[in-house]
Amino acid sequence: MSEPLLVADKITKLYGERVGCRDVSLDLWPGEVLAVVGESGSGKTTLLNCLSARLEPTSGTVRYATRDGVARDLFAMSEAERRFLMRTDWGFVHQNPAEGLRMTVSAGANVGERLMAIGRRHYGGIRQAATNWLERVEVGTDRIDDDPRSFSGGMRQRLQIARNLVTGPRLVFMDEPTGGLDVSVQARLLDLLRGLVADLGMAAIIVTHDLAVARLLSDRMMVMKDGAAIEGGLTDRVLDDPREPYTQLLVSSILQV
Amino acid sequence: MTPRLELRSVAKSFTMHRRGGLHLPVVADLSFSVAPGECVVLGGPSGIGKSSILKMVYGNYAVDRGEILVANDNTVIDVASAGPRAVLAARQTTIGYVSQFLRVVPRVAARDIVAEPLAAAGVERSLARDRAEVLLRRLNLPERLWQLPPATFSGGEQQRVNVARGFICGRPLMLLDEPTASLDAANRQVVIDLIGEAKAAGTSFLGIFHDEEVRDAVADRIVDVARFAVPSAS
């Protein structure tokens, strides 16, 4: 626990003239949950894609401590090594479950596929693991042979989470995991995520524009505006005593119900 | 004896950027300490900054100047300057906080809300639940409520859940923000007893109690915050 899991140094991503994100540095430690907040277009998804090696930054480095304890530069790895990392050590939960699931294969196969990718071959064992995970994310196990096209949005999202967590990743990236869901479904999903993060001790980087999600799930928080990280710190410190004008605006814009 | 908590020349103000940069000073040159086993109560009228002081000690509010030293097991951290991870670690081992209102987590049962800090500290969940039940029983929360999320509980019931959650881990430094405000006399007495037992075991308390009876029962010393308040310029 004495070394960070991921260290990003001055990540900049330019789309031609336009700035995706600029000079963002952060570190993430094992078991820690970091929320990246900001409004649409603030660069949070661009940053998440750079951190998760889905997008190569224009400049800056991302180092990740692989299971052998060596901190390695993501973009100096081979494509095969990065893919291996994504399949084993990482999860990525998309806002739209259809992007993270295979919509035409069964729920059980969606979960089992990640296990097969890391070399598990015993069919009974894989099916058992898939059943356990469906239970854990509250998808009825009688739906194991149905494909996710027949699932509601909330169920699809929970299935996507099961698919990502079945391999016991050390780091999960989440892009607006509760976006586009009804509030009651959101609450259930948040509660589920909270429990899973605490029980599994995994680290997570959660991009969200919803400060309530950040408050419930994260230890630390980073606020982005116009591609730059403008404020960071303990989640409750940033939310209860915001320093920057823009953070004060964000916090004061929350509807109280 | 080394104080458990020592504030040295702490100053705090708020700058409201949405109000044209309005500067609101709260306290300046605030210094006091709390010894192991001591209960120090913050005194002074509402709005003088008592809750803000608790929040600064918990790392919830940033500090303009000064030091907030918290000691545990021969290590001292300065909450005012420590990074987020160090503050989180101090909250997991040293500093407990009972806020005035329970921040309700959707769908989580009262018993699990109480057990959570203990489970997070590595205690097996079933043991943590047992311990939660002991505290909830002691605080006279009806057993039929334990399985329910506290969102629909009365103010007094929520406050007892909050007190139980705060006391379950036995942190060496406890910050209490009006923990008895909505309790009846019998439950106020339970809280007084809990504080007394913890003090005898060496726990330090920094608290806000408007209820004189409770204050007289638990306070070793009162720090008058009005002495450190900054008169507003406007």
Query: What does B54-80 look like in DSSP terms, one character per residue?
Result: HHHHHTSS--SEEEEEEEETTEEEETT
ipTM above 0.85, yes or no: yes
Which amino acid, A178?
T
| pLDDT score recorded for residue B232 | 61
Residue A13 token pair: 């991503």
Collapsing DSSP to helix, strand or coil, B144 comes out as: helix
Chain A residues near residue B84 by CB distance under 8 angstroms: 219-220, 233-234, 237
How would residue B104 be classed by pLDDT, with cut points 50, 70 and 90? low
Residue B62 token pair: 């940033």
CA distances A107 to A135, A148, A186, A189, B6, Å, are 12, 6, 21, 18, 56
Q: Which of A133-142, A190-199, B33-42, B87-96 has the lowest mean pLDDT?
A: A190-199
pLDDT above 60: residue B93: yes
Closest chain A residue by Cα to residue B64? A243
| pLDDT score recorded for residue B106 | 73
Chain B residues near residue A198 by CB distance under 8 angstroms: 119-120
Scan for tokens 């505006």, then name that residue: A225
Residue B219 DSSP one-character state: -
Collapsing DSSP to helix, strand or coil, A89 comes out as: coil
| pLDDT score recorded for residue B234 | 45
Dist. CA A63–CA A235, nearest whole Å: 24
Residue A118 at interface with chain B, using a CB cutoff of 8 Å: no
Q: How much is the pTM?
A: 0.91
pLDDT above 80: residue B206: yes
How would residue A182 be classed by pLDDT, with cut points 50, 70 and 90? confident
Helix (H) or strand (E) run with residue A59 in it = strand A59-65
Collapsing DSSP to helix, strand or coil, B209 comes out as: coil
Q: What is the pLDDT of residues A25-37, one digit of tens each?
A: 999 999 899 999 9
pLDDT above 50: residue A250: yes
- Least Cα distance to A33 among A182, A166, A206 occurs for A206
Distance, first Cα to last Cα, chain A: 39
User: What's the mean pLDDT in B53-67?
Assistant: 97
Q: What is the pLDDT of residues A234-244, one digit of tens each?
A: 999 999 999 99
Residue B9 token pair: 């020349």
User: What's the mean pLDDT in A84-106?
Assistant: 93
Closest chain A residue by Cα to residue B117? A198
- Least Cα distance to B111 among B91, B71, B141 occurs for B141
